[in-house]
Amino acid sequence: MCVIYLTQVNCPCKYNFSDDGKKVTPRRDVPSYPKYTLSQETIEALKKPTFDVWHWEHNEMLSCLEYMYHDLGLVKEFNMNPITLKRWLLAIQENYRNNPFHNFRHCFCVSQMMYGMIHLCNLQEKLTLTDMGILMTAAVCHDLDHPGYNNTYQINARTELAVRYNDISPLENHHCAVAFQILSLPECNIFANVDPDAFKQIRQAIITLILATDMARHGEILDSFKQKVDNFDFTNEEHVTCLKMVLIKCCDISNEVRPTEVAEPWVDCLLEEYFMQSDREKSEGLPVAPFMDRDKVTKPTAQIGFIKFVLIPMFETVMKLFPQIEEIMVQPLRDSRDHYEELKQIDDAMTEVEPVLSISLSLSLSLSLSLSLSQYMC
């Protein structure tokens, strides 16, 4: 079995788009990843947002993703060769970089949450199997070859990636391009047995979903969904496309839906990636966003606004269509908001106390020094 990879240049942001540089090419043959037999407990846990994504090695995550495709009936629906599915998943893993946040584990997180939402919202009864395949495949591919530096950096630094895509969602366009470069390889084409016209529609739908993950489009996409949700029509193609865009957005930024012990390490990972970018921006004389500046941001300040003004409004809108997500997805978001607001209150209190402590410490040291000197003089 061959693993596929993209040739990458040394700098993670200054892309080399020479004809030879970005071809997806077969690598040396490697053994297939071990076939894990998933326990019934794992199978049931996979369907829930409470799934702990930190306890799994890459091979195990690959097996879980493989299971999802079989369980949803996608292998049968698209007449996939099971070996091709394995090769494709290996190629996907190989083309995620080892960033602190935007890495293969994040890909797995988003895909597992999508699988969970499909079950929780009974989407198999409302959408087609083709829609299921589009949702899952877009989730798996949505951050392929992410360099760890966001669109703002790409545009401000005028990277080749930003130039290539005219400053329009450069990263998301790149993720799409890499996804379909991998699928263009016969040994990795899970849609090889799909009718060409059907594949054309699938391709366009996957591109639409991956491009929807650009947070610069968040307001536009959510507003469009809000206009449809009260009279949502599952037979209306435009309505369904909008729903799928919102679903992948939910899954992409869903970490705070998970239990605190699962969600909180992701905040550390994201801040690490932010700080890497802001340090680089400072060194290159580029603008720095306050929420990415290690001298200005804390975990509570990073999370409170995002949870209150992005996550909760979006998930509460989805809740209108699927009330069953309130207890399992929306309430944890409210709890997380409360948790970080409490932490911020503690931080603020400590900030107020610090000057007093500093003065007290200075006085204490002065008194101690005076006493020592008086004893010495005696």
All structural domains of the chain, each given as residue ranges with its CATH number in brackets, are: 40-287 (1.10.1300.10)
Lowest mean pLDDT among 19-28, 54-63, 147-156, 333-342: 19-28
Q: Are 135 and 184 in contact (CB under 8 A)?
A: no
Q: Which residues are annotated as part of the binding site?
A: 102-106, 142-143, 252, 303
* Mean pLDDT, residues 41-51: 97
Residues in Cβ contact with 62 at an 8 Å cutoff, skipping those fewer than 6 apart:
33, 86, 89, 90, 93
* pLDDT tens readout for residues 56-112: 999 999 999 999 999 999 999 999 999 999 999 999 999 999 999 999 999 999 999
The pLDDT-based confidence of 11 (bands split at 50, 70, 90) is very low
> Cα separation of 176 and 89, whole Å?
16
Which stretches within the chain are classed as H helix?
40-45, 58-71, 74-77, 82-94, 104-120, 129-141, 151-156, 160-164, 170-183, 196-211, 218-229, 237-252, 260-284, 299-306, 312-321, 325, 331-377
Q: Are 151 and 289 in contact (CB under 8 A)?
A: no
Is residue 18 predicted with pLDDT exceeding 80?
no
Question: Which member of 102, 146, 174, 339 is catalytic?
Answer: 102
Q: Is the pLDDT at 140 greater than 90, yes or no?
A: yes
Q: In degrees, to the nearest 5, what angle opens at C-alpha 135 toward C-alphas 173 and 179?
A: 35
Residue the block writes with tokens 């020592």: 372
Q: How many CA atoms lie within 13 A of 87 on its CB side?
A: 23
Cα of first residue to Cα of last residue in the chain, in angstroms, is 86
Which pLDDT score is estimated for 256? 98
Nearest-angstrom CA–CA distance, 258 and 262: 6
Weakest-pLDDT range from 28-42, 229-243, 287-301, 310-324: 28-42
**Alpha-carbon distance 243 to 66, whole Å?**
25
Give, in degrees to the nearest 5, the angle at Cα 262 between 136 and 64.
Answer: 35
Once rounded to an integer, what is the mean pLDDT over residues 155-181? 98
**SS3 assignment for 319-353:** HHHCCCHHHHHHHHHHHHHHHHHHHHHHHHHHHHH
Is residue 174 among the annotated active site residues? no
Higher-pLDDT residue of 371 and 355 is 355
Distance between CA 290 and CA 94 in Å, rounded?
33
Taking only the tens place, the pLDDT of each residue in 105-136 is 999 999 999 999 999 999 999 999 999 999 99
Kindly tell me if the per-residue pLDDT of 7 is higher than 90: no
Q: What would the mean pLDDT of 12-16 be, rounded to a whole number?
A: 39
Residue 375 above 70 pLDDT?
A: no
pLDDT in the model for residue 359 = 52
**pLDDT attached to residue 6:** 40
Confidence at residue 369, expressed as pLDDT on a 0 to 100 scale: 44
Binding residues for AMP: 102-106, 143, 252, 303
Residues 6+ apart with CB under 8 A from 205: 134, 138, 241, 244
Question: Does residue 2 surpass a pLDDT of 90?
Answer: no
pTM: 0.87
Which of 36-50, 231-245, 359-373 shows the lowest mean pLDDT across its residues? 359-373
Question: For residue 6, what are the β-bridge partners?
Answer: 24
Question: What is the CB-side half-sphere exposure of residue 35 using CA atoms within 13 A?
Answer: 3
pLDDT band at 350 (very low <50, low <70, confident <90, very high): confident
Residues 233-263 pLDDT 10s: 999 999 999 999 999 999 999 999 999 999 9
Contact of 109 with 255, CB cutoff 8 Å: yes
Give percent of the chain with pLDDT exceeding 90. Answer: 82
